[in-house]
Structure 1
Amino acid sequence: MLDKYITPVIKPLLYPVVRLLDKSKVTADQLTVIGFIIGLFAVPLLAFNMWDLALTAIILNRIFDGLDGALARYQNSSTSAGGFLDICLDFLFYAAIPLGFAIANPEHNALAAAVLLAVFIGTGSSFLAFAIPAEKFNLEKPQFAYKSFYYLNGLTEGTETIAVFIAFCLWPQYFAELAYGFAFLAGITIVTRVYGGYHTLKKQTIKQQTSATKNTVKKLQKRKTK
């Protein structure tokens, strides 16, 4: 929900670093992989209750995630392969953080982490499943025109997810409560995405079929006039 407001504010702040990375011949895909590896370090740090260091790893991962796309656009090197790599590693990172908290305190956190992971599957699958037919129908994406594929909005998006990850690290004793609360909000996202995505694609299908029928009628009429 907040991504479309936060992203335009952050993008200009990244440009000085992007220019420096470009001069150093760094590629966007390299940043994606490095950021993912840094993010994964949060798991053992969480497992050993090193909350501050884990939070640092999470924030660095998100900084790299912002830089890789900005660098790709600056270098005019955005590709479907790069977008695919970025989103795959993003979702693996999202899944790794609840796992870290579950390992840190299985008795208190395991069930909440499992619920959160289940909801992440729902938000991720509804998000990605829509992108495929959206590309097929060539749907416009004005809010996220710089992305590799269509983004279906929701109540809980990247900004909200990272905010709750930060909250987890700041108040680890309330992980379960925060996780259940976020899972509830993410559940609303799943419902709205499935409902909105289904009806959007259904309308596009009817529109396409109507257009095809009209074209067929026009061709038949032209044959008759001949």
Structure 2
Amino acid sequence: MQDVSSSAVKILLVDDEPSIREPLASFLRRECFTVDEAADASEARKLAASKRYDVALLDVMMPGEDGLSLARFLTASQDLPVIMLTARTEETDRIIGLELGADDYVTKPFSPRELTARIKAVLRRGARQAPESMPEAMLFDDLTMELTTQRLIGREGEEIPLTGGEFRLLQVLAERAGRVVSRDDLLELTQNRRADVFDRSVDNQVSRLRKKVERDSANPALIKTIRGGGYSLAAKVRTR
């Protein structure tokens, strides 16, 4: 990863409101980022098909395809870090965005300087997590996580559909197999944020993940709950 303050960092900014998009793009360019603007998801998809970006800033509420759907596409097709921009304040909307694979969530109105700091934090986190030679796959409990394509192959050879957030959560647990990972650490590692007092997003995501990967989701044996601690992957993991 390049220096996150350099103009080599390319940002895809998607917002249908010119009064927000254009001043924000100008500010980010003054901060030495390279910024491409899109007024809707269709335009953003065309840009993403022809260029590679380091991070995407997506408005949630847009005419036509909304930001949540676009986030799902970008994280699945390009493994692109995404920060959601929204006027919504409901916790449910924020959790949905994060669980779809978004890396952060900023509520309008926001400070452009705060957004800049969040962009740099997301990029730094990505740089820290990128190993020099990432394995192609992680194998455990007759499951295969294909890291390069972000696919999970089941016990009978079938593909198990996971959201970007679910894949990231399972990968974090697999990388720390046999160790207890706290809810706070899971949020920090998968969503780059700390938990609120009543935040149940990790528990909800684990519950959905168990239904997809456990042999018996009613009696989970793979993803274990550690009372007062967090979660642990109870499997031996090998890589290839």
Q: Structure 1 or 2: larger helix share?
A: 1
TM-score by length of 2: 0.27
Bigger Cα Rg: 1
1 or 2 for the larger relative contact order (CA 8 Å, sep ≥6)?
1
Q: Structure 1 or 2: larger strand share?
A: 2
